[in-house]
């Protein structure tokens, strides 16, 4: 199997601010596996929250060989050979996993949603994310997001109520809130009560990941569902956090790709947790990959490509907020013509 990679800088339409910091661009790595003249594409979108960056990924890739991935093997055998090469860097595992799933789908003429038994070209509704910003800019962003029926609002700032009031001046559409670990228990209790009166659907990661017992205390009194993001990296976390949350946010770049994400979906259902699919700032390669699992879940926040101005790929589309999967085998993504 042949392998190559390239790096790419995704430019954001607006500076994107969350409780942890701001960014104007995101560096990603695209990887390609080729067999019998057919190429599968994958993507690593590393995050500093998990101590990963493009420089370390490229450094690692340059030390790797891929001759031991069995040409005639099954997809699981390919993944078992390739994923450990990432050395624990989950975004790089994801890149390998996506490229091999895409290649497998193309070689076997099956779309990944069919491969995972999703059996629908329609995913669920995705939210559109509004980062932390000044009031005027938030108002402008909400108006710009008019075609999205569902908003996700980043909180965990010093002026969370003003942000929500600003949004409610402009629109009454349902809102999901992501505090990105920005509150403590007392703030969380007050905010969840206050937000519950303002057409908010749920709250994502209200408290720091280390404050799991406090999160469980908040859950006992919160009128809103709590969804784990920073507390839920992969399927191993699910049994430990299920007592503190009502649901989990699965992201490919955290868990290491589609195979593990699918495992998380099954395990979350066993624990009666709601399931959301989330993303980083990513191209349509990784967003479309996650979208192939979206018919299997409750909520999606797959807008990382829409937040950028130079996505080089076409893949999943959003129509009236609904994710519409591409036709075609594998991921079904193509470079812009």
Q: Please choose, from the candidates 307, 322, 302, the residue with its C-alpha nearest in 3D space to the C-alpha of residue 120.
A: 322
Binds Mg ion by CB under 5 A, chosen from 97, 229, 282, 311: 229
- Please state the closest distance from residue 317 (CB atom) to Mg ion, in A: 23
Per the structure block, which two tokens stand in for 262? Answer: 């699918």
Measured from the CB atom, the residue of 40 and 247 that comes closer to Mg ion is 247
Q: Is 181 in the site for Mg ion (CB under 5 A)?
A: no
d(CA 271, CA 173): 30
Q: Cα dist. 115→101, 255, 324 in Å?
A: 9, 19, 17
Measured at CB, which residue is nearest to Mg ion? 229
Least distance (Å) between residue 181 CB and Mg ion:
9
Which 8-state DSSP code applies to residue 335?
A: E
Q: Mask of contacts with Mg ion, 23-52, x by CB under 5 A?
A: ------------------------------
Expressed in angstroms, the distance from the first to the final Cα of the chain is 27
Q: How far is the CB of 152 from Mg ion (least distance, A)?
A: 8
254/262 with CB nearer Mg ion:
254
Q: How many residues bind Mg ion (CB under 5 A)?
A: 3
CB of 179 to Mg ion, least distance (A): 9
Those residues with Cβ within 8 angstroms of residue 206's Cβ, 6 or more apart along the chain or in another chain? 179, 181, 182, 183, 188, 191, 192, 215, 218, 226
Our CB check for Mg ion shows the closer of 83 and 155 to be 155
Which range, of 104-112, 118-126, 229-237, 305-313, touches Mg ion by CB under 5 A? 229-237
For the bound state, the minimum distance from the C-beta of residue 144 to Mg ion, rounded and expressed in Å, comes to 21
Compose the 183-212 pattern: x for residues touching Mg ion by CB under 5 A, - for all others. ---------------------x--------
Contact region for Mg ion (CB under 5 A) — 76-84, 226-234, 254-262, 311-319? 226-234
DSSP state at residue 207 = S
Residue 301 C-beta: closest distance to Mg ion, Å: 8
State the minimum distance, in angstroms, from the CB of residue 154 to Mg ion: 8
Rounded to 10 degrees, the C-alpha dihedral 291/108/116/47 comes to: -50
Q: Which stretch binds Mg ion (CB under 5 A): 59-67, 139-147, 228-236, 240-248?
A: 228-236
Cα angle for residues 271, 275, 281 (degrees, 5° grid): 140
139-178 positions binding Mg ion, by CB under 5 A: 178
CA-closest candidate to residue 276, choices 254, 253, 292, 294: 294
CA distance 137 to 109: 45
Could you give the CA distance from residue 294 to residue 287 in angstroms, rounded to a whole number? 10
Is residue 73 within 8 Å of residue 81, measured between CB atoms? yes
User: Which lies closer to Mg ion via its Cβ, residue 102 or residue 229?
Assistant: 229
The residue written with tokens 């594998």 in the block is 330
Contacts of 100 (CB under 8 A, 6+ apart): 33, 40, 42, 75, 78, 79, 82
Nearer to Mg ion by Cβ, of 118 and 277: the residue is: 277
Q: Which is nearer to Mg ion, 205 or 284 (CB)?
A: 205
Nearest CB to Mg ion, comparing residues 279 and 293: 279
Nearer to Mg ion, 111 or 127 (CB): 127
Of residues 204 and 260, the one with the C-beta less far from Mg ion: 204
- Judged by the rule CB under 5 A, the positions of this chain that interact with Mg ion are 178, 204, 229
């Amino acid at each position: 199997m042949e392998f190559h990679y390239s790096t790419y800088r995704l430019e954001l339409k607006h500076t994107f601010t969350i409780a942890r910091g701001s960014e104007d661009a995101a560096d990603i790595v695209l990887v390609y596996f080729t067999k019998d003249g057919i190429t599968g594409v994958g993507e690593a979108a590393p995050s500093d929250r998990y101590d990963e960056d493009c420089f370390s990924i490229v450094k690692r890739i340059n030390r790797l060989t891929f001759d031991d991935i069995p040409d005639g093997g099954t997809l699981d055998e390919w993944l078992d050979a390739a994923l450990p090469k990432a050395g624990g860097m989950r975004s790089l595992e994801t890149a390998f996993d996506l490229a091999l799933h895409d290649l497998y789908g193309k070689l076997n003429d099956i779309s990944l949603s069919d491969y995972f038994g999703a059996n629908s070209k329609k995913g669920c509704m995705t939210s559109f994310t509004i980062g932390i910003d000044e009031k005027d800019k938030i108002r402008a962003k909400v108006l710009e997001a008019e075609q999205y029926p569902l908003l996700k609002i980043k909180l965990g700032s010093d002026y969370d109520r003003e942000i929500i009031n600003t949004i409610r001046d402009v629109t009454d559409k349902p809102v999901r809130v992501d505090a990105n670990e920005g509150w403590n228990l007392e703030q969380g209790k007050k905010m969840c009560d206050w937000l519950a009166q303002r057409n908010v659907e749920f709250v994502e990661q209200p408290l720091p990941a280390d404050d799991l017992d406090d999160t469980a205390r908040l859950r006992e009194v919160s009128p809103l569902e709590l969804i784990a993001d920073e507390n839920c990296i992969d399927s191993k976390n699910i049994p430990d956090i299920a007592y503190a949350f009502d649901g989990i946010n699965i992201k490919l770049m955290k868990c290491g790709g589609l195979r593990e994400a699918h495992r998380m979906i099954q395990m979350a259902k066993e624990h009666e947790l709601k399931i959301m699919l989330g993303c980083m700032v990513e191209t349509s390669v990784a967003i479309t990959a996650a979208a192939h699992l979206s018919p299997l879940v409750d909520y999606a926040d797959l807008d990382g490509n829409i937040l950028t101005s130079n996505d080089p790929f076409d893949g999943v589309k959003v129509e009236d907020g609904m994710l519409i999967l591409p036709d075609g085998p594998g991921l079904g993504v193509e470079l812009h013509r």
